[in-house]
Amino acid sequence: MSDEQPALHDGDLRLRPWTVADVEATRLLHDAEIAHWFDVAATPPTSEHHRSWVEQTHAEWSDARAKVTFLVEWRGAPAGSVDVRRRSDGVGVLSWVTYAPYRGRGVASRAVRLLVDWAFTDLGLRRVEAEVNPLNRASLRTALWAGLRREGLLRGNTTLGGEVHDTVVLGRLADDPAPGTREGFTAMLDSVLPTKRVIGQGLIRDAAGNVLLCEPVYKRDWDLPGGVVDPGEPPRDCVAREIREELALEVTVGRLLATNWLAPWLGWGDAVLFVYEVETPTPAALARVRLLEREIRAVHWVAPHELSGRVAPYNERMLTSLASAGAGHATLELADGLPVR
């Protein structure tokens, strides 16, 4: 590796080492937006302070590349700054600043992308990451368009302006698909798209129309057998798996009776429920039921008019809607247990 910090190029974009000649041209570009997100004074730094910072960037480069900082130039004019700091062996942390005239023009994401590519090849990093305030939507976009993926949220781990704030963690690995490719774009977008819980449940009825309900050990309300669908698992398969795990029953899962959007409830976010008809087990099979004791206390056959007080209100609405639809009904679309009109 060369002892001299290089300059990096991408068309009209150039990343180069800072020099003391940049001090006066850039210190007055410090504005309220930068001051807010970096939680520093809004007044521009003094010439002496800014010069000292520039000199520090050279010292950090000389210190085994502990931190590498580049001035961002767009068509020869200073547009901001980007840097990568070694957090641990093979892992670097990114940071960037964009001056007001160049915000919203894609300069920052191109600069960060160029820095990341160089860090993977010349610094030998296997991973880069960034920590961004979720309210800083511009910086989130910069990280995402530079190929980083949203990986999680650190709750209440920092302060800004004397207030406690969360932090979004974003990361990119050296062997991730490159931004700008279909695979890279899909992976990035998949990391930020909304996710929703999917639940699969089975409706088991006897000849009299009674419904089989499980009495869980972890909540008061009784519920249909089933559970949360695992990643990559079809809802139908989830129903068979959950009944096998919770009741030791091998069942035949039939047609889809209803989809039901569940509104937020007791601290849970919203979800989509798939309810399937399940073939009634034979008396011999029911006699062999073994309850998963850490989850299921008992099972009960319950008539539709006996649901109140035993199941959650949203489940009572849903089961009532299913009973009212009659035998052989088409798949129902329900919202919070009620038919969508």
For the domain that residue 315 is a member of, what is the CATH number? 3.90.79.10
Beta partners for residue 92, in sequence order: 86, 128
d(CA 133, CA 143): 12
Q: Is 65 a member of any domain?
A: yes
Given this model, what pLDDT does residue 241 score? Answer: 97
**Based on the domain organization, do 138 and 280 belong to the same domain?**
no
What is the pTM for the complete model shown?
0.82
Q: How confident is the model at residue 157 (pLDDT cuts 50, 70, 90)?
A: very high
Question: CB-based contacts of 54: which residues, under 8 Å, 6+ apart?
Answer: 18, 19, 20, 22, 23
Q: How many domains does the chain have?
A: 2
pLDDT digits (tens, 9 = 90+) for 260-281: 999 988 888 899 999 999 999 9
**Based on the domain organization, do 181 and 158 belong to the same domain?**
yes
Q: How confident is the model at residue 259 (pLDDT cuts 50, 70, 90)?
A: very high
Q: Is 178 a member of any domain?
A: yes
d(CA 285, CA 280): 10
**Based on the domain organization, do 219 and 126 belong to the same domain?**
no
Q: Is 231 a member of any domain?
A: yes
**Based on the domain organization, do 253 and 145 belong to the same domain?**
no
Q: What is the CATH number of the domain that holds 25?
A: 3.40.630.30
Bridge-based pairing state of the strands 67-74 and 13-16: antiparallel
pLDDT digits (tens, 9 = 90+) for 310-322: 999 999 999 999 9
**Based on the domain organization, do 106 and 29 belong to the same domain?**
yes
Bridge-based pairing state of the strands 271-278 and 197-203: parallel
The three-class DSSP label of residue 302 is: strand
**Based on the domain organization, do 152 and 265 belong to the same domain?**
no
Q: How confident is the model at residue 220 (pLDDT cuts 50, 70, 90)?
A: very high
**Based on the domain organization, do 218 and 81 belong to the same domain?**
no
Q: Is 232 a member of any domain?
A: yes
Q: What is the DSSP letter of 62?
A: H
Q: Is 38 a member of any domain?
A: yes
Q: Is 88 a member of any domain?
A: yes
Q: How confident is the model at residue 341 (pLDDT cuts 50, 70, 90)?
A: confident
- Of 133, 158, 192, the domain-final residue: 192
Given this model, what pLDDT does residue 4 score? Answer: 93
Given this model, what pLDDT does residue 1 score? Answer: 52
Q: Is 3 a member of any domain?
A: no
- Of 167, 192, 217, the domain-final residue: 192
Q: Is 335 a member of any domain?
A: yes
The enclosing H or E element of 104 equals none
**Based on the domain organization, do 160 and 236 belong to the same domain?**
no
State which residues form the domain around 220: 197-339
**Based on the domain organization, do 148 and 267 belong to the same domain?**
no
Residue indicated by tokens 């009620």: 338
Beta partners for residue 258, in sequence order: 275, 332
Q: What are phi and psi of 126, to 5 degrees?
A: -100, -15
- Tokens found for residue 23: 């001090």
**Based on the domain organization, do 227 and 241 belong to the same domain?**
yes
Spell out where the chain has E strands: 8-10, 13-16, 67-74, 77-88, 91-98, 127-132, 149-160, 163-173, 197-203, 211-216, 226-228, 253-262, 271-278, 296-302, 332-335, 338-339
- The closest alpha carbon to 158, from 34, 39, 32, 42, belongs to 39
Question: CB-based contacts of 13: which residues, under 8 Å, 6+ apart?
Answer: 72, 73, 74, 107, 110, 111, 114
- Tokens found for residue 164: 């406690």
- Of 174, 192, 210, the domain-final residue: 192
**Can you state the angle between helices 137-145 and 107-121, rounded to 10 degrees?**
50
**Based on the domain organization, do 184 and 233 belong to the same domain?**
no
Given this model, what pLDDT does residue 183 score? Answer: 95
Question: Could you give the dihedral angle defined by the CA atoms of residues 152, 181, 186 and 144, in that order, rounded to the nearest 10 degrees?
Answer: 30
pLDDT digits (tens, 9 = 90+) for 178-210: 998 999 999 999 999 988 899 999 999 999 999
**Based on the domain organization, do 163 and 203 belong to the same domain?**
no
Given this model, what pLDDT does residue 2 score? Answer: 62
- Tokens found for residue 95: 């940071």
Given this model, what pLDDT does residue 156 score? Answer: 98
